[in-house]
Amino acid sequence: NAGVTQTPKFQVLKTGQSMTLQCAQDMNHNSMYWYRQDPGMGLRLIYYSASEGTTDKGEVPNGYNVSRLNKREFSLRLESAAPSQTSVYFCASSELPDTYTGELFFGEGSRLTVL
Amino acid sequence: AQTVTQSQPEMSVQEAETVTLSCTYDTSENNYYLFWYKQPPSRQMILVIRQEAYKQQNATENRFSVNFQKAAKSFSLKISDSQLGDTAMYFCAFMTNRDDKIIFGKGTRLHILP
């Protein structure tokens, strides 16, 4: 079972470059999320999507854009990367709102370094 | 805005001991859910336990249990008979019924010592 798949797993960028992190889930989940994890900061929510066609800002949305392409896919774009965006990025999905269990299913993470 | 606070950045206990991880949260909502997630060195996030705020009974999952104090907005995780495999980062998380936003605390790094 694939679950939540993120690509790429590793990426090195130069300041000012752009890139897109891709995320896909095969569990027919409604909600999808992008988090970033930094040492001492825990997981911080960047954007989330409660359903296909909707997106909402999380705690740290500045410098990012997202697209909920369809029910399966939720991409995160950095238009002009900055060193402060060096982080590990996690995509997650959940069955919300149907079941309201709230359990998140995570991808393996993508390590992004901005030089 | 909702916030989640984990006041213990790091803890160490001997194998087979009991350990309690603290979590407090702030919200004006009445209906919400609380979670504990585990992140071992593999970096994979794993749900440990969840609690619905409307349930007074504390959730338990084998060696893991919570002490949910709604009035105090406290949600601690107790790990009994700790095992080496419990070594991990533990995150407390919060979600309301109002939206699908799920936010996390900064985490507690737990070391189980042989």
Q: How far is A113 from chain B (nearest CA, A)?
A: 17
Could you report how far apart the first and last alpha carbons of chain B are, in Å? 41
Confidence class for position A101, pLDDT limits 50, 70, 90:
confident
The residue of A46, A89, A104 whose CB has the most chain B CBs within 10 angstroms, and thus the best one to mutate to test that interface, is A104
Chain B residues with CB-CB distance to A103 below 8 A: 35, 47, 50
Option in A31, A100, A106 nearest B45 (CB): A106
- Proportion of chain B in helix, strand, coil states, percent, rounded to 5: 5, 55, 45
Tell me: pLDDT of A100 over 80: no
> Is residue B104 within 8 Å of A60, Cβ to Cβ?
no
List, as ranges, residues 54-73 from A with C-beta within 8 Å of B.
Answer: 56, 58-59
Two tokens, residue A26 = 């095969």
Q: What is the mean pLDDT of chain A?
A: 92
Chain B residues with CB-CB distance to A101 below 8 A: 50
Handedness of CA A114, B91, A91, B44 (dihedral sign): positive
Q: What is the pLDDT of residue A1?
A: 64
Could you report how far apart the first and last alpha carbons of chain A are, in Å? 35
Confidence class for position B30, pLDDT limits 50, 70, 90:
confident
Of A26, A22, A70, give the one whose Cα is nearest residue A49: A70
Chain B residues with CB-CB distance to A35 below 8 A: 104
